[in-house]
Amino acid sequence: MPERRPRLEGKVAIVTGAGSSGPGIGNGKATSVLFAREGAKVLLVDAALDRAEESLVMIREEGGDASVFQADVTKAADCQAMVEAAMERYGRLDILDNNVGISRRGTVVDTSEEDWDHIIAVNLKSMILASGAAIPRMIEGGGGSIINISSIAGLRAHSQTPYTTTKAAVQGLTFSMAGDHGGDNIRVNCIAPGLLHTPMTAPRMDEAMREHRKNSAPLKTEGTAWDVAYAAVFLASDEARWITGVVLPVDAGLTITSPVTYTTMAQQGRF
Ligand SMILES: NC(=O)c1ccc[n+]([C@@H]2O[C@H](COP(=O)([O-])OP(=O)(O)OC[C@H]3O[C@@H](n4cnc5c(N)ncnc54)[C@H](O)[C@@H]3O)[C@@H](O)[C@H]2O)c1
């Protein structure tokens, strides 16, 4: 058997939101660790530097190559500075993982204008600005891979209208960017994570809710940030060289089920 080469060897990656918002491992942290484990040099970008530094410690303990950069990706100047930092430190840019995102409940009736502006800035504008800064540098290097983190909340009503709206827009943004930049050899794909247990969701969970969520999807296992991170490694790697413009649910099969027929009652033969 030939020796396996790291799947991202020689590549430079930016992960936005590379820390975690609480104790444990979120999507940005897990993705940063796996990118480095697969040989990428990783710029760990976060508005909260101490969070990115926690990811850096994990990567350095494994012998990986990474560094932190403080940026608020809702700001164009910060996104430009982040890309220039990657170029100065590592000389090229191949991968952008647009991970930053926050959740918000509400309807169009009870969500304030300020809250709409905020969630659209954090979840959508951030990806537009970061990609706009990254793409010219990727073109200089001959191409690249951009991964936009959406949610299954962007595929279905999720009783979180502001969140669903931005996460659906991230999917449209992915299609459009993939079409615009395919000729530049830049692939743009989207991951739609399902009901994961991560620092972002943990504060809203108790054991009963975790069990309920786990048993709602065909695979009946609890998802973690590592599940999203492994999908990101694949999409970032040359193994996915012919894949662009896809929305990949990482959700244990939840979104392929029908809520009417796929229920605990139906599974118990009570229909
Ligand atoms: N956890 C889940 O269950 C789940 C499910 C579906 C989708 N997602 C998506 O995954 C992504 C986030 O995952 P995570 O687990 O890494 O979240 P997280 O909340 O643990 O970490 C996100 C990081 O982003 C940073 N951040 C927030 N706003 C920023 C800004 N403006 N500029 C720079 N950094 C900023 C935070 O400081 C934090 O360290 C989001 O896009 C989210 O919508 C998560």
For residue range 203-225, what is the model confidence (pLDDT) as tens digits?
Answer: 989 999 999 999 889 999 999 99
Assess whether the C-beta atom of 100 lies below 6 angstroms from ligand 1.
yes
Q: What fold is seen in the domain 12-267?
A: Rossmann fold (3.40.50)
The finding on whether 17 has its CB within 6 A of some atom of ligand 1 is: yes
Q: Where are the domains of the chain?
A: 12-267
Q: Which of 31, 99, 125 to mutate to test the pocket of ligand 1 (most atoms within 8 A of CB)?
A: 99
Q: Are 178 and 245 in contact (CB under 8 A)?
A: yes
- Which CA distances in Å does 90 have to 10, 11, 41, 45, 103? 10, 9, 7, 15, 33
- Evaluate if residue 162 carries a pLDDT over 80: yes
pLDDT at 259 over 80: no
Tens digit of each residue's pLDDT (9 = 90 or more) over 74-122:
999 999 999 999 999 999 999 999 999 999 999 999 999 999 999 999 9
Q: How many residues does the chain have?
A: 271
pLDDT tens by residue, 17-51: 999 999 999 999 999 999 999 999 999 999 999 99
What spacing in Å lies between the alpha carbon of 17 and ligand 1's midpoint? 6
Q: Residue 163 catalytic?
A: yes
List, for residues 236-254, the tens digit of each pLDDT value.
Answer: 999 999 999 999 999 999 9
pTM: 0.97
Average pLDDT, the chain: 95
Neighbours of 114 (CB within 10 A): 8
Tell me the one-letter amino acid at 143: G
